[in-house]
Amino acid sequence: MGTVVDDAASVEFHAFFERHYAELARLAHLLTGEPDAADDLAADALLALWHRWDRVRAADHPAAYARGVVANLARTRVRTAVRERRRIALFWSQREERTENPDVAGVVDVQEALRRLPFRKRACVVLRHAFDLSEKDTALALGVSVGTVKSQTSKGMAELQRLLGTQTAARQMHAAVARSGEAAGRNR
């Protein structure tokens, strides 16, 4: 008996899908301005509707309910994109420093050691020491807590000291990454 209800719900949902998918994708496109994301958002919304199909089909206006789900998903996507743009702008807003006669071997050693760090440790170390960001600004840029920045920076620096075999890793890392950042900035 459960399969009859499931089959009926499945047929009803399939008909709803066929009737409203294009409209929901168009709504997602207009809300986000991203044609590539529109199909994904519509599909995500319909998946969410399927999981709540009993509630949706009991609603007075199931299509309006579906539009609300798409609007909420689009709002989340736009907010995420705005936060990401802010993080990128914060990352690149730091003034570039110029260094005369860089220690190329030191830069290569530090870059190799940085590559061996897990991403979050590497990002914390680079933002704190190469870009001189505060713990708060680093946390904002990475979307983590200040405590995470503190622990990941500390662990990353300890690992760099171990990898570089020197107690002057912070000073060497700061100078080398600043120099390598200049080269990367010129290559953009």
pLDDT digits (tens, 9 = 90+) for 90-137: 766 665 556 666 667 777 788 888 888 888 888 888 888 877 888 988
Neighbours of 19 (CB within 10 A): 11
Cα of first residue to Cα of last residue in the chain, in angstroms, is: 64
Query: pTM for the complete prediction?
Result: 0.46
Judged against a pLDDT cut of 90, whether residue 77 lies above it is answered with no
Fold of domain 1-93: Rna Polymerase Sigma Factor; Chain: A (1.10.1740)
Question: pLDDT tens, 82-98?
Answer: 888 777 777 666 655 56
Q: 3-state secondary structure string, the chain?
A: CHHHHHHHHHHHHHHHHHHHHHHHHHHHHHHHCCHHHHHHHHHHHHHHHHHCHHHHHHCCCHHHHHHHHHHHHHHHHHHHHHHHHHHHHHHHCCCCCCCCCCCHHHHHHHHHHHHHCCHHHHHHHHHHHHCCCCHHHHHHHHCCCHHHHHHHHHHHHHHHHHHHCCCCHHHHHHHHHHHHHHHHHHHC
Q: Kindly report the CATH class assigned to 105-187.
A: mainly alpha
The CA-based diameter of the chain, rounded to the nearest angstrom, is: 80
pLDDT tens for each residue of 26-48 = 988 888 888 888 899 999 999 99
Q: Who contacts 10 (Cβ-Cβ below 8 Å, separation ≥6)?
A: none
Q: Are 20 and 63 within 8 A, CB to CB?
A: yes
Nearest to 24 by CA among 76, 74, 75: 74
Give start-end residues of each CATH 1.10.1740 domain in the chain: 1-93
List where CATH 1.10.10.10 sits in the chain: 105-187
